[in-house]
């Protein structure tokens, strides 16, 4: 959750309309440092309105430029931005300076301190909303400028409460931010908001709400056309379906996310690493699933073979029983006068004996038990008055029985 809220803070401050972020990292920070280096407190106190405006702008951009690389310097320039803006009663820049201080506290996980400065910033925006003018302007701040400042604050304050485990209050501020985004059609900001709400509900274990939020994020991302927001929304949906075990569907979303992140590989290399990691997880899950399916299939085949063998054995036992019953019936029906005649079964078995098959082979061929075949063999030898198999075959041929 910490990661998600940090992302949310950055985007609320830096991406939606009205927040003119200029990246002054690298050599640009050094150049701005040289510009402001000659402005001592004494000289700053004598600066003209235009000089002060340029200086506040430089302090503001130095605050942004140092934010991710040197928190102490960023805090320093945030305070200078606020102090100089206060001299001229430039309320919007006063709010920006207080926000900058709050964000540094937030990044250092001092959420209570961050909230103090966010509320101080909100007090300044409340003055703007009440109609108070800038110290050097004749007209009050526009409604859109005021709403832009409020939405930034609401998102940031929601993050603080989120990380302080006060989810109802967090959702209250997120809702306020969303209402402003909807009012002005700030689709990109709404995409960010709903993606992070999806992340929040995902971590809370409320998967239904998470899915609804990710889908809303995708809706607003498509409306905005912003490739980074599309990447985030697709990544959220991919993670959701992966958690649900729907690996094929998850892979489709993750691959879409990666294709959009690849357009910003220099800035979003960590996001690409994350999507590639998810892809590996999905592929590993699919391999495991296929192994499980293959094993299950093999077990099913073995089971079917076993069932077929059992059924075959049962059929053989049934036939053996029928054969035994027939033997009994034959024994009961026979009389001395009909002893010379062969029964149907004897007529079936005698040629098999003559062909040289053994009793076990004959039993297997006609599906009778070995004991039954031996009984028939003995009965045939008695009927034909034969002492052995060779004599039995000889006498059978003499009588024309084979």
Tell me the whole-structure pTM to 2 decimals: 0.62
Q: Based on the domain organization, do 347 and 263 belong to the same domain?
A: no
- As given in the structure block, the two tokens for residue 176 are 């306020």
Q: Does the pLDDT value for residue 367 go beyond 90? A: no
Q: Based on the domain organization, do 238 and 148 belong to the same domain?
A: yes
Q: Based on the domain organization, do 176 and 29 belong to the same domain?
A: yes
Q: How many CB atoms are closer than 10 A to CB 152?
A: 27
Evaluate whether residue 314 is within a structural domain: no
User: What mean pLDDT comes out for the span 236-251?
Assistant: 90
Q: Based on the domain organization, do 6 and 109 belong to the same domain?
A: yes
Evaluate whether residue 147 is within a structural domain: yes
Evaluate whether residue 311 is within a structural domain: no
How many whole angstroms separate alpha carbon 350 and alpha carbon 371?
Answer: 16
Evaluate whether residue 318 is within a structural domain: no
What's the structural domain count of the chain? 2
Looking at 270, 289, 308, which one is the last position of a domain? 289
Q: Based on the domain organization, do 245 and 393 belong to the same domain?
A: no
Q: Based on the domain organization, do 177 and 29 belong to the same domain?
A: yes
Q: Based on the domain organization, do 186 and 274 belong to the same domain?
A: yes
Query: pLDDT class for 4, splitting at 50, 70, 90?
Result: very low
Q: Based on the domain organization, do 281 and 338 belong to the same domain?
A: no
For 377, the domain range is 334-398
Q: What is the pLDDT of residues 24-68, one digit of tens each?
A: 444 468 888 888 988 998 999 999 999 999 999 999 999 998 988
pLDDT, residue 56, reads 95
Looking at 255, 289, 323, which one is the last position of a domain? 289
Q: What is the pLDDT of residues 323-334, one digit of tens each?
A: 666 666 565 455
Q: Based on the domain organization, do 145 and 279 belong to the same domain?
A: yes
Q: What is the pLDDT of residues 72-107, one digit of tens each?
A: 999 999 999 999 999 999 999 999 999 999 999 999
Evaluate whether residue 214 is within a structural domain: yes
Classify each residue of 229-251 as buried b or exposed e, where b means 16 or more C-beta atoms within 10 Å of its C-beta. Answer: bbbbbbbbbbbbbbeeeebebbb
User: What mean pLDDT comes out for the span 374-387?
Assistant: 90
Q: What is the pLDDT of residues 152-165, one digit of tens each?
A: 999 999 999 999 98
**Coil, strand or helix at 62:** helix
How many whole angstroms separate alpha carbon 306 and alpha carbon 84?
Answer: 88
- List Cβ neighbours of 206 (8 Å cut-off, separation of 6 or more): none
Which element (helix H / strand E) includes 350? Answer: helix 344-354
Q: Based on the domain organization, do 146 and 19 belong to the same domain?
A: yes
- As given in the structure block, the two tokens for residue 321 are 């029983």
Evaluate whether residue 156 is within a structural domain: yes
Q: Based on the domain organization, do 233 and 365 belong to the same domain?
A: no
Evaluate whether residue 316 is within a structural domain: no
Q: What is the DSSP string of 250-298?
A: HHHHHHHHHHHHGGGTTT-HHHHHHHHHHHHHHHHHHHHHHHHHHHHHH
Evaluate whether residue 305 is within a structural domain: no
Report the CATH number at residue 169: 1.25.40.10
Report the CATH number at residue 390: 1.10.10.10
Looking at 289, 323, 350, which one is the last position of a domain? 289
With vertex at residue 59, the alpha carbon angle to CA 56 and CA 62, rounded to the nearest 5 degrees, is: 150
pLDDT, residue 60, reads 94
Q: What is the pLDDT of residues 111-163, one digit of tens each?
A: 999 999 999 999 999 999 999 999 888 899 999 999 999 999 999 999 999 99
Q: Based on the domain organization, do 33 and 159 belong to the same domain?
A: yes
């Amino acid at each position: 959750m910490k990661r998600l809220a940090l992302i949310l803070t950055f985007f609320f401050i830096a991406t939606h309309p009205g927040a003119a972020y200029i990246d002054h990292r690298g050599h640009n920070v050094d150049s701005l440092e040289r510009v402001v280096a000659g402005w001592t407190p004494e000289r700053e106190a004598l600066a003209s309105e235009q000089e002060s405006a340029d200086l506040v702008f430089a302090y503001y951009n130095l605050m942004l430029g140092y934010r991710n690389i040197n928190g102490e310097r960023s805090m320093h320039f945030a305070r200078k931005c606020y102090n100089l803006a206060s001299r001229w009663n430039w309320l919007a820049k006063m709010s920006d300076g207080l926000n900058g201080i709050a964000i540094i506290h937030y990044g250092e996980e001092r959420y209570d301190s961050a909230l103090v400065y966010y509320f101080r910033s909100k007090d300044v925006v409340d003055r703007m909303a009440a109609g108070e003018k800038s110290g050097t302007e004749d007209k009050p701040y526009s409604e859109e400028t005021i709403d832009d400042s409020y939405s930034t604050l609401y998102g940031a304050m929601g993050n603080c409460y989120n990380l302080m485990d006060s989810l109802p209050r967090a959702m209250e501020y997120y809702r306020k931010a969303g209402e402003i985004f909807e009012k002005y059609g700030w689709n990109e900001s709404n995409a960010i908001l709903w993606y992070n709400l999806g992340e929040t509900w995902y971590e809370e274990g409320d998967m239904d709400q998470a899915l609804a939020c990710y889908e809303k994020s995708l809706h607003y991302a498509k409306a905005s056309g912003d490739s980074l927001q599309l990447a985030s929304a697709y990544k959220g949906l991919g993670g959701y379906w992966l958690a649900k075990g729907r690996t094929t569907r998850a892979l489709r979303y993750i691959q879409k996310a990666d294709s959009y992140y690849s357009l910003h590989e220099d800035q979003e290399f960590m996001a690409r690493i994350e999507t590639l990691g998810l892809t590996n997880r999905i592929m590993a899950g699919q391999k495991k699933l296929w192994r499980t399916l293959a094993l299950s299939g093999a077990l099913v085949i073995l089971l079917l073979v076993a069932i077929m063998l059992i059924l075959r054995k049962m059929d053989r036992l049934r036939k053996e029983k029928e054969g035994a019953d027939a033997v009994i019936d034959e024994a009961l029906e026979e009389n001395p006068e009909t002893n010379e005649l062969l029964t149907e079964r004897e007529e079936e078995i005698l040629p098999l004996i003559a062909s040289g098959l053994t009793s076990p082979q004959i039993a297997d061929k006609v599906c009778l038990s070995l004991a039954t075949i031996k009984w028939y063999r003995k009965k045939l030898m008695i009927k034909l008055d034969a002492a052995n198999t060779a004599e039995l075959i000889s006498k059978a041929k003499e009588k024309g029985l084979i």
